[in-house]
Structure formats: C-alpha cells, structure tokens
Amino acid sequence: MHVATTAIPGLLTFTPEPHHDVRGFFSRTFDADVARAVGVVPERFCQDSLSRSAKGVIRGLHLRTGRGEAKLVRCSSGAVFDVVVDLRPGSPAYRTWVSFELSGDRQNSIFVPPGCAHGFQALTEPADTSYRIDRPHDPSEDLTIAYDDPELAIGWPLPVGAMSDNDCAARPLAELEDQLGRVLAAAG
C-alpha cells in the first residue's frame, strides 16, 4: 500500500495494489501497521458507516464540532469526486480545498484529519462510500457548509443531483464564523 501526503497537512492518501485475475480482483483496503507508520492510530476508529448515492448526488460539506472528527474514507463501488476543506486556522492550507477521485476499481482511501470539512459527489450510478470514524456520531455536533459556497468555489464535475434537506439548507463559511471558531479551537 502506498501512502502520500497532500497539500493539506495531515490529509493522507492510501493507494493499495489490487491483485487482478480472471475472477476479478482482491485488495487490502486497510492495514493497521501501514496506518500506524504514518501516524494514524487505528485503535481510535470506533464506527464504520456506508452510504449509497445516485449519480450526481452531493453529500456535504460536513464538519464535526467539539473535538472534531478524523475519518478514513473510501469509495468501495463506483466512483466519487471527494473534497476536503482545511478549516484549521493555524494550518498553512487554511480555507483551501483539495479534491480526489475515489473509486471502487482503485480502492484508494483518504484520511481526513479533525478540523477539515468533507463532502463528495457521486460520479457513477450508484456509488458506495465507506467511512471509518474515530468518534461515535452525535447529531448535535454536526455542522454543514454550503456545497456552493462562493468563497470556496468548488468545481463540482456534474450537475447537482439529490441532496438532503440539511445539505440544501447549509450556509456559506462567511455566515458560520462563530460556529467555526468554536469548532476549530477544540479541534486545533
């Protein structure tokens, strides 16, 4: 498994080497020793979740308040355009975003550190996305940033498909300054 750093400090990519043969492929999608070697503590993960999305669906941009949340994200089937926004005030990448294509064919993953918002758009019909999360979910700590925030100007690759009511009602960063300050001080 190959691990690489990104333009956002602490955001890592994990790219396995699937074995292909006439049956299909076999891929190790997580290796605790590899994770430990790059500073990711596998024992901290306490929840695994899976979402299935239709082509064009956008989920996010989601951020966790309180102590923040680290997560390992992988598209297990199909493909997604995945976005991470660094919202840690002390970070050299503060308020910048990077994107990745995660796909079931490649089985690549990203590790998203606390203090970063995360979202994606399904590129295929359907796209299954897996999340390995380091804290139990508490809906009272959810914060959602508008996917079309003009400051971020994320270039989503497809027309927007379905979105949750919460994601549709999300506000831009400029309207979330008070909430972001409390979140980021705790995650810092």
State the catalytic residues.
62, 131
How crowded is residue 136: how many other Cβ atoms within 10 Å of its Cβ?
8
Neighbours of 44 (CB within 10 A): 11
Residue showing tokens 């991470």: 84
Burial class of residue 87 (count of CB atoms within 10 Å of its CB; 0-12, 13-18, 19+): buried
Strand ranges (E), 16-164: 19-21, 24-26, 47-53, 58-64, 71-77, 79-86, 97-103, 109-112, 116-122, 127-133, 142-144
Q: Max alpha carbon distance in the chain (Å)?
A: 55
Residue 125 near residue 54, CB atoms below 8 Å:
yes
